[in-house]
Chains A and B, each alone.
Chain A
């Protein structure tokens, strides 16, 4: 078994492993940890109320797992902040945090400013557009950080189709992940292909990691986190949790194009800085995922892009056409 498969087996969880919230809260208390939940928003009035009700009820009132919930908004023009305030969240406009800095607009900006504004030892980020919200979106991510000191960064992934015939099913991320990020990681950062959904917007991170990494303010924030945390702390700092199904609005292809463009910029910047483009040999194995029952494993596909030279360099050609 490869090292990467070992890592996957050891660091991949399913949220149901952490159903015992009483035990989780006790472990958190014992380790004297504080946890902040950050919901970055931009026009999320339809879903934010429900997220707040459920998190406050289940993870503050019933089981005191999180210590604060903050909504950091990019300047919504709907009632997002009004609804959030009404349901008891601390609400902030991103531009009001660190007001001496030139304001920038993007999700990454909100996530970055949360590090300054929120108090927790652990910050868990959850997107505000999830319509099937459930407490697992938070406890599934913070649990590995509470139980295992060496884990610093926990990513969400979503899977478990309700019906699937056959033993093996393809698994992995969305379109941008499978078409752009996974091939890029396979080429230049093969270890990072162990992360099943590198672009998922839900993750929990220790403060000492968050304050050490840069934050692209746009689409590249998740990709840059993975590369930077991997570079500074190694793959062992990561874990990932299967949160089952996540229901949200599907983005049109054009929006994905914008996203991919932002991610590429971030990736190239980091790859250049780390000198990975200069490596003489890059990988020729594409690493995708498949799942057998509850086990995830990598599917390695060798893809060698061989080339033919320009025809003019072939002697027979030159002879035939007298060139």
Chain B
């Protein structure tokens, strides 16, 4: 690997220099964050991002057939490309009040961390690089990807990776939080919903002894009883539950949202099969309709800890006094891994109340987070990661 002395010089003082762009970055954050973008309905947010790319003079920017916003900052040599990706969708629907509240040290609002800040970093990058007179050798491809979360199942980035014309050698996924995260591998995952329905022909004389919630409860108990190995590490997340309509009526339907996560693909598949058996068993035992819908899968993979890209990112973090926290990811990184593109996920600042309408991010660490992003870009572009 190339000696880091030159890069360290470039990084010295960068964090302070970035303070100058506070208003531009935060204005982008607020304006992006206030445009609702539930998965599958990101058009307005993408249009705003495209306008920003246009204003920054990215001549090749466009919205692709999947609805992704793509901007290209051409490099001097333009041989290879580095992809910077931030997902554009949020878990909040259009009816949620998307007003962002700006205080002296923090900004609060739905989706501010996940992923308005990631997007703000993405759209502000060309402005900052130009103003700092940083010219890259390689093309920087900026992707605001749609349909990433939940049932979206990374549709946007997958479409882009299958159809783009660039020679992408490396990629960085940008998330609003948490600063210090360093994800370079994906774990195996299977995401689905189990829906229980009391049939229309249900015999109501069976007073109170059946309800979709009770049936779902049976399913949950059985899933909870699945024996999971300690190695490879595996877990089943029961993430959400919706059911019933009032205090005094029997619930007609109930839905569980769950995710199986494991370092081993085999274990994920086995757990999936067990859940499928549980669903059939409970369905036949209760006579209720129980359905399993698996709509997202990830296969484990990624680059090793010792990969030059990971090493590079760790050196940049070390230079900036950021403590790296290694954690696997199931986000867009997986799609990149599937395409065998060495990739990382980085966070920009620290935050809390994630996925709630009072999601909050801290402002001060943002400069460090941005310095880390720019530093990693410079490292990749400067050939430090080869």
Contacts and interface: CB of A to CB of B under 8 A. Distances in A.
Nearest to B56: A62
A50 B104 contact: no
B31 interface: yes
A49 B24 contact: no
Contacts of B103: 45, 49, 79, 83
Interface string B79-123: 000000000000000000001111110000000000000000000
Contact of A61 (B24, B31, B55, B101): B24
Contact of A53 (B27, B34, B55, B99): B27
Nearest to B31: A54
Contacts of A134: 31
B27 A58 contact: yes
B101 A50 contact: yes
B30 A50 contact: yes
A78 to B, nearest CB: 11
A46 B101 CA distance: 6
A131 interface: yes
B23 interface: yes
A16 interface: no
Given A62-B24, A87-B23, A53 B101 contact: no
A60 B31 CA distance: 16
Contacts of A82: 104
Nearest to A79: B104
Contacts, number: 50
A45 to B, nearest CB: 7
B26 A132 contact: no
Interface in A101-137: 131-132, 134
A215 to B, nearest CB: 30
A61 B124 CA distance: 13
A53 B23 contact: yes
Interface string B16-43: 0000001110111011001000000000
Contacts of A79: 103-104
B99 A132 contact: yes
Nearest to A56: B23
B34 to A, nearest CB: 7
A53 B104 contact: no
Interface string B125-154: 000000000000000000000000000000
Nearest to B28: A57
A312 to B, nearest CB: 62
A152 to B, nearest CB: 30
B34 A57 contact: no
A234 interface: no
A52 B99 CA distance: 15
A174 interface: no
A57 B52 CA distance: 13
A28 to B, nearest CB: 18
A50 B102 contact: yes
Identify which of A49, A54, A57, A79 gathers the most chain B CB atoms within 10 Å of its CB.
A57
Contacts of B55: 62
B100 A50 contact: yes
A314 to B, nearest CB: 62
A312 B157 CA distance: 87
Which of B23, B34, B99 lies at the interface centre, i.e. has the most chain A CB atoms within 10 A of its CB?
B23
Nearest to B20: A61
Contacts of B28: 57
Interface in A49-75: 49-50, 52-54, 56-58, 60-62
Interface string A157-179: 00000000000000000000000
Contacts of A60: 23
A126 to B, nearest CB: 15
Interface string A287-309: 00000000000000000000000
A174 to B, nearest CB: 21
Interface string B53-65: 0010000000000
Nearest to B21: A61
Contacts of B100: 50
Contacts of A61: 23-24
Q: 3 smallest A-B Cβ distances: which pairs?
A: A49-B102, A57-B27, A57-B23
5 contacts: A50-B100, A50-B102, A52-B23, A62-B24, A62-B55
Given A46-B101, A86-B104, 5 more contacts: A54-B31, A58-B27, A79-B104, A83-B103, A131-B99
